[in-house]
Structures are given as C-alpha cells and as structure tokens.
Chains A and B, each alone.
Chain A
Amino acid sequence: DAGVIQSPRHEVTEMGQEVTLRCKPISGHDYLFWYRQTMMRGLELLIYFNNNVPIDDSGMPEDRFSAKMPNASFSTLKIQPSEPRDSAVYFCASSPEVKTNYGYTFGSGTRLTVV
C-alpha cells in the first residue's frame, strides 16, 4: 500500500487566491482526518469524515475553509480566499474503523505558504 497520499507537497500562493489541497486515504480506511500544524498552535484537527460523511467540522477556522469527500478514495480541503495566516503544514490522515483497530496513518503533508 502506498500510504496516505497528499498533493501538492508544497504550495505557494498569493493572498486572495483559492487553494485546494488533496488527499487519497489508504484503501479500506473508514475515517479521514484533516489537521493543520503551526509553530504557535501545534496540531489542530480541522475536520474528519466517517464513510465519506463529515462528522465534526468544529475545528474549521472560518467559512473560508471547506472540505469534501466525494468518494472513499479522495478528499479535498479548500481555502478561498487564502490569507497569510493560513500558512501552515496541512496533514491528512486515515484510519480503519476505530472500534478495534484504532490508529492513524498520516500523509507527508502539504506545506502552504500564502504571501
């Protein structure tokens, strides 16, 4: 298995532009999580899905952020419009069903820089 695949690895964009981050979870994993990592705030859970359905989006900072999971093998995190304070590393993680086999596998992250 190739693991959790995120693209792009690096993204530099200008303030006000739309940014789309992509994630392909491990096949068969029921859960998908989006985290943001910054020096100041550490790892923050933004949103997670179970069987493609958003379960908890309370960590999404504001309406500029949106996430979708149209099918079991693909998810996107979109920021529109982007702002410099959105600069961070965004991680996607997936997990099997959590009742008996709890444990995330993380992707390598997307480093976003908004200038």
Chain B
Amino acid sequence: AQSVTQPDIHITVSEGASLELRCNYSYGATPYLFWYVQSPGQGLQLLLKYFSGDTLVQGIKGFEAEFKRSQSSFNLRKPSVHWSDAAEYFCAVGAHYNQGGKLIFGQGTELSVKP
C-alpha cells in the first residue's frame, strides 16, 4: 500500500535561510510525487510534481524537489525562505493512473519563518 511520511511536524527557519522539508514514501512501483502548500484557512496549492525523467523538479515560488529512488525520498528545498512561505506543506504520492489516480498525503510539516 502507498504511504507517505513527513518526519518533521514543525520547522522554524530564519528569513533568508535555506529550507529542506523531508518526505519519504512507500510504493511498489515508480510513484507520482507531489508537494502542496496550504496557507491558513485555504485549500491546498500544488507546488510541484514528479512523474518521470529529470529527478530534480522545479516548482512555483522558487521551490524545487529531488526524487531519490534509492532513498525513497522526495525532499522539498528552497535556497532562501521568505516570510510569506510560512504555511503547512504536504507531500503526496499518487498511484499509477490505471489504479485510479488517488493521492495519499503525508501528515504535513508546518513551517514558521523568523524575521
């Protein structure tokens, strides 16, 4: 069965510092991987996704993520965090399309940004 683990429940970084949010997945085949961001009181917005090909994926708002099959990881990174990046971040794994396309989400990592 698919599963996603985000080991860090809450992370605090200083504005301008670099950021890495961890995500580990469990899936029997090549997964479809996603990162979403949720601001307070809002729905989830897609940051980036990986299907195949280049393992370093660029997304919106200056985020990138790297797929590492050997580590079953898909960590999210940003070189310089802005105060507006404070939000909750969700990693998700999707089954192959012929299994219905549903996404399984991790528990989320809440990001706080110090001035």
Q: Which residues of A are interface residues toward B (Cβ below 8 A)?
A: 4, 31, 33, 42-43, 45, 48, 50, 55-56, 91, 93, 95, 98-99, 102-109
Residues 27-86 of B at the A interface (beta carbon under 8 Å): 32, 34, 36, 41-46, 49, 51
Question: Is A102's CB under 8 angstroms from B97's CB?
Answer: yes
| B90 on the A face (CB < 8 A) | yes
The CA-CA distance from A109 to B90 in the complex, in Å, is 16
Q: Give residues in B with beta carbon < 8 Å to A.
A: 32, 34, 36, 41-46, 49, 51, 90, 94, 97, 100-108
* Cβ 8 A contact of A95, one of B36, B45, B101: B101
Shortest 5 CB-CB contacts between residues of A and residues of B: A98-B101, A106-B43, A43-B105, A98-B97, A106-B44
Inter-chain residue pair count (beta carbon < 8 A): 55
Residue of B nearest to A41 (CB): B107
List chain A residues, Cβ under 8 A from B105.
42-43
> Using Cβ atoms and an 8 Å threshold, which residues of chain A touch B44?
91, 93, 104, 106
Which of B32, B45, B51, B100 has a CB less than 8 Å from the CB of A56? B100
Q: Could you give 28 example pairs across A and B, Cβ below 8 Å? A: A4-B43, A33-B102, A33-B103, A42-B106, A43-B105, A43-B108, A45-B103, A45-B104, A48-B102, A50-B100, A50-B101, A98-B94, A98-B97, A98-B100, A98-B101, A99-B97, A102-B49, A102-B51, A102-B97, A103-B34, A103-B46, A103-B49, A104-B103, A106-B36, A107-B43, A108-B41, A108-B43, A109-B43
User: Bound complex: CA of A91 vs CA of B43, how far in Å?
Assistant: 7
Give every chain B residue within 8 A of A31 (Cβ-Cβ). Answer: 101
Shortest B32–chain A CB gap in Å is 6
In the complex formed, the residue of A with least CB distance to B96 is A98
Further pairs besides A98-B94, A106-B44: 8, Cβ < 8 Å: A4-B43, A42-B106, A48-B101, A50-B101, A56-B102, A93-B43, A103-B46, A108-B41
Q: Are B108 and A42 in contact (CB under 8 A)?
A: yes
| B16, chain A: closest CB distance, angstroms | 30
Q: A10 CA to B38 CA in the complex, in Å?
A: 18
